[in-house]
Amino acid sequence: MSTLALFGGKPEISVPFATYNRIGTTEREAVLETLESGILSGYVGAPGPGFNGGPKVQELEARWADTFHISHAVAVNSATSGLFAALGACGVGPGDEVIVPPYTMSATAVAPFVYGGVPVFVDIEPESFCLDVERVRDAITNRTKAIIAVNLFGHPARLAELRALADARGIYLVEDNSQAPLATENGVFTGTIGHIGVFSLNRHKHIQTGEGGICTTNDGDLALRLKLIRNHGENLIEHHNVPTAQDLIGFNYRLTELSAAVGLAQLERATEIVDEREALGHRLSAGVSGLPGLTPPQVRTGCRHTFYAWPLRYDADAVGVPRSVFLRAMAAEGVPLDGGYVAPLYRLPIFKARKSRHGPHECPVTERMHEHEEIGFGICAFELSETLIDQIATTFHKIYEHRIELAERYTRA
C-alpha cells in the first residue's frame, strides 16, 4: 500500500467528516405548527389537566409507549433528568446503594447523590462493555436499592438476567438506554426490560430533540411517581393520594412542546435512522474483521446492536504497535477515532470527595478497556455512507500493513 500519511504520504481520507444532521423538512414544519399554536409549554405544577403537559408532550408519550410496547412513557427534558427521576421513583434515600458501571456518562453514577445514595461501581464485561452480572451479584448488600444497567454503545446489557436478579433480591433495575433505542434482547426492546427505562433525545443520539428524554415503565405506580418528580409533585401528593410519597420532592424536568414536536417527527423516522446506523456499523465490522489483534464489536446471540458508537478492541501485543501510535496513524489518514471512552468514573473528584464504593482495584476490565484496548468510532456523530465506511476499513488495513514500519519508527523515536 501507499506511504502512511504520518510519514509524508497522501491521507486516505482528505475531507473532514461532516456532522450527522437528522433534522429535515418534517421537523421544521412540526416546529412551525407548534409556534403558530402559541402553546410552547402546557404544564402547570398543580392539580388539573395541565399537570401532564401540553398536547404534543402527551402525544409523544402515547406514541412512544405504542412504539416500544410499554404501558407508560413519561417525557422529561433530558436523560439525566430521567435518571434522577427514576431513582426518586424507586425510593432511593440516604445511605441506599445503587450499583452502576464505571464506564459510562457521569450522570448515571451521579444520580444516587441526588437522594443521598451511594454509587457502587461494578466492573463490565469486555465483550459488550456492559455490567458483569456475576460481579453485580457479588456486590449486592442489604443496603442495595437499585441497579442501573447501561446499554452502552447500542448493545444490550444482560438485561433479562439482571431483571431476574433484581426481582429475586427485591431491588429495582433501571436501564440507562440513552444509546440504544430499538436495540433488543431476545426480541424485547431495551429500555422496557427493567422496572424503569431511560431514553435520551440529546442532539447526538440516534433520534433527537436537541435536549430531551423519555422514561418508560409497565408499573402504573412508578409512572405516577415519575410524573410527580417531573412536575413539582409536592403540590399534588394529597390530590393523587400517594401516602408512601409524603416526602417526595418534585423538580422541573418538563419537556417543551417545541421539543416534543421535533420528537414526534423523529420518532416517525426512528426505524429508518437506526437501521441505517446499524447497517453501517456491521459494514465497518465486516471490513475490519480478520486482522489479528483487532476485534470488531461483538453482538451477543439474541441481541440487536444499534451502534451509537462502534467500539473495537485493540490488542497491542498482537498488532505490535501501542494503541496511541495506531490512533495517531489513523488520525493522520483522516479517520477520527477515540482511544478509550470516558475515564472510569471513580477517578472523578466528585466520587473521590464523596462516599462511594469500589474503584480501580475492583474494576480491572474497565481500567484495561480505557487505558489499553477500546477504540471508538462515532457512528452517530458523522454523516456517513457505505463508500466512506469502506474507506475507513481500507485505512485500518493500510495502517495494519505498515505496522512493522510504524513500530520500528516509534521505537527509534
The C-alpha atoms of residue 309 and residue 287 are separated, in whole angstroms, by 16
What pLDDT, on a 0 to 100 scale, did the predictor assign at position 109? 96
DSSP codes of every residue in 32-95: HHHHHHT-S----SSSSGGGG--HHHHHHHHHHHHHTT-SEEEEES-HHHHHHHHHHHTT--TT
What pLDDT, on a 0 to 100 scale, did the predictor assign at position 361? 66
For the chain, domains (ranges, CATH) are 5-21+270-412 (3.90.1150.10), 25-268 (3.40.640.10)
Using DSSP, state whether 154 is helix, strand or coil.
helix
Using DSSP, state whether 303 is helix, strand or coil.
strand
Find out whether 369 and 126 touch, Cβ atoms under 8 Å.
Answer: yes
What pLDDT, on a 0 to 100 scale, did the predictor assign at position 355? 65
The C-alpha atoms of residue 23 and residue 306 are separated, in whole angstroms, by 19
The C-alpha atoms of residue 218 and residue 151 are separated, in whole angstroms, by 19
The C-alpha atoms of residue 93 and residue 42 are separated, in whole angstroms, by 31
* Edge-to-edge strands, sheet with 188-189: 188-189, 184-185, 303-304
What pLDDT, on a 0 to 100 scale, did the predictor assign at position 235? 86
Consecutive H or E run containing 146: strand 144-150
The C-alpha atoms of residue 171 and residue 146 are separated, in whole angstroms, by 5
Give the end-to-end CA distance of the chain in Å, rounded to a whole number. Answer: 23
DSSP codes of every residue in 159-191: HHHHHHHHHHHT-EEEEE-TT-TT-EETTEETT
Find out whether 241 and 248 touch, Cβ atoms under 8 Å.
Answer: no
Successive 10-residue mean pLDDT values, the chain, 413 residues: 90 95 95 96 91 97 98 98 97 96 97 95 97 97 98 98 98 98 98 98 96 98 95 83 74 98 98 98 98 97 98 97 96 97 94 72 92 97 97 98 92 58
Contacts of 310 (CB under 8 A, 6+ apart): 153, 281, 284, 285, 296, 297, 376, 377, 378, 379
